[in-house]
Amino acid sequence: MTFTNPLIPGKLIKRYKRFLADVELDSGETVTAHCTNSGSMKTCIEEGAEVYLSPASDPARKTKFTWEMIRIGGKWIGVNTSIPNLLAFEAVKNNQIMGLKGYSEVKREVTFGNSRIDIFAENENEKCFIEVKNVTMKVGNWARFPDAVTTRGKKHLETLMEIKAEGMRAVMLYVIQRMDVEMFGPAWEIDPDYAETLLKAFAAGVEVIPVMADVSPEKIEISKILPFDLGR
């Protein structure tokens, strides 16, 4: 995914009320940007760090900017939670993820039961439901999810188990928007219920695919699949 309009550089002053962040632009002006990430943003908040914003396309929107990324430890971390779904959709459609290739039809936001799954893909041989989660938390050299308790995320795992039980393919795709990790695993200390449900889903045949995204002010693109361990 290439940014069609140049991003706007600045420095993070503070994030507050979950969905707002004050940023000092390089011009010296202070603006308030929309933060799409409703989680704790553990390990990707550093006041004074370099950030990039995108201008809002809707002139009527109250916040005129969206916070896209932050630079920590010399590496860019994508914090816009709407990006992973777009990345995953493009990657599946363009056969860019090993194990998720060869689908003739790929759709976004498909309902199954009382849940909405991010991506549905099919060909003449199989139907596949793919749920996408954004990952930004780092612990050591591990990417961890979630960074806050997520009952919604647990529900999605339960839905994927139902899909698998009906004979269709079910995939939990974690898009890791940072390049300074080597492994993926659930954050047991933050949400043990989610972690236990992920283990149960994996044992039931739900596939787990963690992918790393290369993040830069010019573009964000999926680069490789990471190994994972679902244990404590």
pLDDT in tens, 146-183: 999 999 999 999 999 999 999 999 999 999 999 999 99
Compute CA distances 20 → 15, 87, 91, 180, whole Å. 6, 24, 30, 26
Separation between Cα atoms, residue 88 and residue 137, nearest integer Å: 19
Q: Enumerate the β-bridge partners of residue 225.
A: 211
Q: What is the pLDDT of residue 132?
A: 98
Q: Quick check: 53 pLDDT over 90? A: yes
The answer, as to whether pTM is greater than 0.75, is yes
Whether the CB-CB separation of 209 and 216 falls below 8 Å is answered with no
Per-residue pLDDT tens for 99-150? 999 999 999 999 998 889 999 999 999 999 999 999 999 999 999 999 999 9
Give the confidence band of 206 by pLDDT, cuts at 50, 70, 90: very high
Give the confidence band of 39 by pLDDT, cuts at 50, 70, 90: confident
Which segments of 19-80 are extended strands (E)?
A: 20-25, 30-34, 50-55, 65-72, 75-78
Q: What is the pLDDT of residue 205?
A: 98
The first and second tokens of residue 20, run together, are 């707002």
Q: Which of 183, 86, 64 is nearest to 134 (CA)?
A: 86
Report the percentage of the chain scoring pLDDT > 70.
100
Average pLDDT over residues 222-226: 96
- Which domains are present in the chain? 8-75 (2.40.50.580), 83-225 (3.40.1350.60)
Whether the CB-CB separation of 138 and 121 falls below 8 Å is answered with no
Q: Quick check: 38 pLDDT over 90? A: no
Compute CA distances 208 → 66, 76, 126, 169, 173, whole Å. 30, 25, 18, 11, 6
What is the β-pairing status of strands 127-135 and 169-176? parallel
Q: What is the pLDDT of residue 82?
A: 92
Q: Quick check: 58 pLDDT over 90? A: no
The residue to which tokens 């940014």 are assigned: 3
Average pLDDT over residues 12-29: 95
Q: What is the pLDDT of residue 59?
A: 82
